[in-house]
Structure 1
Amino acid sequence: MENVGVKDNYILVQRLKSAGCFIVCVLLALICLVPLYIMIMNATHGDAALRAQPLQFLPGGDLMTNIKNIAGGEFPQSPNFNVWLGYRNSLIIAGCTTILTVFFSALTSYGLTVYDFKIRDGAYTFILAVMMIPIQVTSTGFVKFMVGTLGLANSYIPLIIPAIAAPAVVFYMRQYMKSSFPLDIVEAARIDGSGEFRTFLTIAIPMCKPAIAVQAIFAFVQNWNNFYTQNMIIISNEKRFTMPIMIQSVLGQDKHPDLGAQYAAVALSVIPIIVIYLILSRFIVAGVALGGVKE
């Protein structure tokens, strides 16, 4: 009887812990989703309605009017705002940088995890040290080299190629590989005659899909929202303007600001991020489910 009582108490404690974790997760989800929901609802209301009630929780009927008022209307918020041009430029930059960041970071992490060489620990320490240097510290030399020496002003190259060096992504990918990537499978592939690079492409990448998907989401969001490098350093040609630059031109409107148009502009800039998350989230869920099934 005593064993039955102890078992019942243990089950009760576990259920209380699960309920507490569930409540915390729900609260965190609401903290993340409620501002996004309010932004979308505000984008469907006009300027007058938003000035009367800044927070709207029900959809309105002024979404298309707000979109038209961004670049047109009586008081255009940004005459140079072109959503398709902004999408094109931002997708080129964010898409290419995400691919380069994830691929070369995974390759670097694979080398630091699989191979045992003398300077491995020193190389990893150096990579971590680079993480501590903010981009603002190196921006002067970066601009002088890219614009002054190479003449790459208003070019995609300075915004894409440097993305190969992503120490934070290397750090997270290496931590994932050290905990979830079995080195025995690499030895087995070598015995079967697989080349090193082929082993990385056909074995390491498929096994690291959850980590790659997570870092791809982070990299895409970071480069999509990269206003400092794009606007303040490299981009000045209107044909090269990305979404962050165009959004800033809308939000920086001091004369006759239209709140509805501003919310609509921000909502338009968020759509690709949501789409990328929905596409990659299935890899995260699949990886968690696969990791939970072990003998």
Structure 2
Amino acid sequence: MSYKLRMKFIKIGVYIFLIILFLLAILPIWLLLVNATRSTPEIQQGVSLLPSNNLVINWNHLTGMGVNIWRGFLNSLIISVPVTFLTVYFSMMTAYAIHVYDFKWKKILYNIVVLLTIVPTQLVPIIGFYKYMASLKLLNSYIPLIIPAIASPPMVFFALQYLESTIVKDLIEAARIEGSGELGIFHRIILPIAKPGAFTMGILSFVASWNNFFTPFMLISKVEKYTLPMVVKLLRGDMYRTEYGAIYLGLAITMIPIIIVYAIFSKYIVSGIAMGAIKE
């Protein structure tokens, strides 16, 4: 077998493998959207890849359950948008400081960031956090869900890797010689250069905050302040346990902002991750 023929077979094999991965990734989403159009008896009969005509009925069930899903939608936006900005801004600033400045314990600080990155968030002492927020009278408040976004070790680590592969320190030194302050350098030079990485961090942070259920569930007890994942959880009560079509429709609605964000900024995800993976 010639070299060109072998390469052709390898290329075909790679395409087949990627198509299989694509189908495995998209199939659960497609089934969710299909089930949102099916009735409960149709869902109980088994899996179907074709949409049905029960979407309007499911919508009527969803809005007739006494659950304000649009309020949950707004509450999730109120939390996710500031969380995204705080995470991106302060993570990029922290990474910039670690990358550019030479100071004592710099290596130790970097190792701490890496260590916190690999520690699962489930290991965080949530009971102690709950008691602390209760002592500050911040239960049923969005503050404990937004302010901690300032400290995000995984995003700091990603930003640090990205800056190491894109930022030239000579450019920073030239800006200092011309009289630019440190904040001016960060805002006018670093952030524009790191825009793809910042967009990538923002998308990942937004998705994580939007899908967050556990922490809001621990801190918020007022129904009018429920986030969208918590509102969807209400649809699974005993009274409506058989209305699976409405439940699937509610889950599909939660995906709308994520799909929109990915559709608009997907090119930044690719370029941001690619640049962050390159080292000089």
Do these two structures clear the TM 0.5 threshold for a shared fold by scoring above it? yes
Q: 1:184 to 1:253 in 2, by over 3 A?
A: farther
Q: 1:106 to 1:161 in 2, by over 3 A?
A: same
* Alignment deviations for residues 140-187 of structure 1 (CA, whole Å, 9 cap, x no partner): 221111112x10111110100011110011111111221232222222
Q: Which segment drifts farther, 239-248 or 173-182?
A: 173-182
Q: Which segment drifts farther, 83-92 or 171-180?
A: 171-180
1:151 is paired with a residue of what secondary structure? coil
Q: 1:165 to 1:85 in 2, by over 3 A?
A: same
- Aligned match of 1:144 in 131, 137, 140? 131
User: Is the CA contact (8 Å cut-off) linking 1:93 and 1:156 kept in structure 2?
Assistant: yes
User: Is the CA contact (8 Å cut-off) linking 1:209 and 1:284 kept in structure 2?
Assistant: no
* Counterpart mapping for 1:153-164 below 5 A: 153-164=139-150
User: How far 1:137 moved relative to its partner?
Assistant: 3.5
Question: How far apart, in 2, do the equivalents of 1:152 and 1:64 lie?
Answer: 40
Q: TM-score, normalised by structure 2?
A: 0.89
Between the aligned residues of both structures, percent identity stands at 38
Question: How far apart, in 1, do the equivalents of 2:69 and 2:159 lie?
Answer: 34
- Is 1:122 the counterpart of 2:108? The answer is yes
Correspondence for 1:84: 70
1:270 alignment partner AA: M
User: How far 1:108 moved relative to its partner?
Assistant: 0.6
2:125 alignment partner AA: T
- Aligned match of 2:39 in 41, 46, 54? 46
Question: How far apart, in 1, do the equivalents of 2:237 and 2:209 lie?
Answer: 21
- Is 1:69 the counterpart of 2:61? The answer is yes
Correspondence for 1:134: 121
Question: How far apart, in 2, do the equivalents of 1:44 and 1:247 lie?
Answer: 17
User: How far 1:203 moved relative to its partner?
Assistant: 1.8
Q: TM-score, normalised by structure 1?
A: 0.85
- Aligned match of 2:204 in 191, 196, 218? 218
1:59 alignment partner AA: P
- Is 1:56 the counterpart of 2:25? The answer is no
User: Is the CA contact (8 Å cut-off) linking 1:213 and 1:281 kept in structure 2?
Assistant: no
User: How far 1:66 moved relative to its partner?
Assistant: 0.6
* Counterpart mapping for 1:106-255 below 5 A: 106-131=92-117, 132=119, 134-148=121-135, 150-231=136-217, 233-253=218-238
| Aligned-residue RMSD, C-alpha | 2.4
Q: 1:134 to 1:287 in 2, by over 3 A?
A: closer
User: How far 1:19 moved relative to its partner?
Assistant: 3.9
User: How far 1:107 moved relative to its partner?
Assistant: 0.7
User: How far 1:67 moved relative to its partner?
Assistant: 1.7
Question: How far apart, in 2, do the equivalents of 1:255 and 1:172 lie?
Answer: 43
Correspondence for 1:23: 16
Question: How far apart, in 1, do the equivalents of 2:258 and 2:124 lie?
Answer: 28
Q: 1:130 to 1:285 in 2, by over 3 A?
A: closer
What number of residue pairs does the alignment pair up? 275
2:54 alignment partner AA: D
Correspondence for 2:27: 34
Question: How far apart, in 2, do the equivalents of 1:108 and 1:30 lie?
Answer: 39
User: How far 1:207 moved relative to its partner?
Assistant: 1.9
Question: How far apart, in 1, do the equivalents of 2:34 and 2:153 lie?
Answer: 38
User: How far 1:255 moved relative to its partner?
Assistant: 5.4
Question: How far apart, in 1, do the equivalents of 2:85 and 2:36 lie?
Answer: 32
Q: 1:95 to 1:153 in 2, by over 3 A?
A: same
Q: 1:146 to 1:19 in 2, by over 3 A?
A: same
1:61 alignment partner AA: N
User: Is the CA contact (8 Å cut-off) linking 1:93 and 1:159 kept in structure 2?
Assistant: yes
